[in-house]
Amino acid sequence: MHNQPHIKQKDIADTMGITIQAISKYFKKLTEEGLLEAGSGRADYRLTQKGIGKLHEDLKSLERYVTSIRSEMKIERALPAIATQPVKAGQTVGLIVKEGITCTFDSNSPVTEAKEIAMTDAAVGEDLGAKELARQNET
């Protein structure tokens, strides 16, 4: 609504996949709560300062919720790599990039560009996930 102050309720309803009647009902409730104000035209609605504050508060709450869910789910980001030697889960491996493909390498080799911890076992030529990426000069 901020970017399109003259947007029609029908367009909002279509975007959200709900009826125009539902949008009208929500607009009425938001107006009564002082979060939305109607202008002079039919399609002239604006968020009030109170509405903007509520929106920011709700977005922060949503962000905290998503962060807590991620933490509870223990989501880990894995970097894919191809094993060039047998690897065991939990083993620290070195990484090098060969022709655009990340490959494991001896973690103590001077050509190693970074180190990571293997998340899975892998035989030579198999792919594996790795975590806790660190540049070689940081280890």
71 pLDDT more than 50: yes
Question: Taking residues 118-134, what's their average pLDDT?
Answer: 86
Q: Are 128 and 85 in contact (CB under 8 A)?
A: no
In angstroms, rounded to a whole number, what is the distance separating the alpha carbons of residues 24 and 36?
Answer: 12
Q: What three-state secondary structure class fits 24? A: helix
Q: Average pLDDT in the 75-79 region?
A: 74
Is pTM, for the whole model, over 0.85? no
Those residues with Cβ within 8 angstroms of residue 127's Cβ, 6 or more apart along the chain or in another chain: 80, 81, 82, 83
With DSSP H G I counted as helix, E B as strand and the rest as coil, what are the percentages for the chain, rounded to 5?
A: 35, 25, 35
Q: How confident is the model at residue 75 (pLDDT cuts 50, 70, 90)?
A: low
Q: pLDDT value at position 109?
A: 84
Is 80 exceeded by the pLDDT of residue 73? no
Largest Cα separation within the chain, whole Å, is: 72
pLDDT band at 2 (very low <50, low <70, confident <90, very high): low
Annotated domain spans of the chain: 9-73, 79-138
**Is the confidence at residue 126, as pLDDT, over 90?**
yes
CATH architecture of 9-73: Orthogonal Bundle (1.10)
Q: Where is average pLDDT lowest: 89-93, 105-109, 123-127?
A: 105-109
Per-residue pLDDT at 137? 47
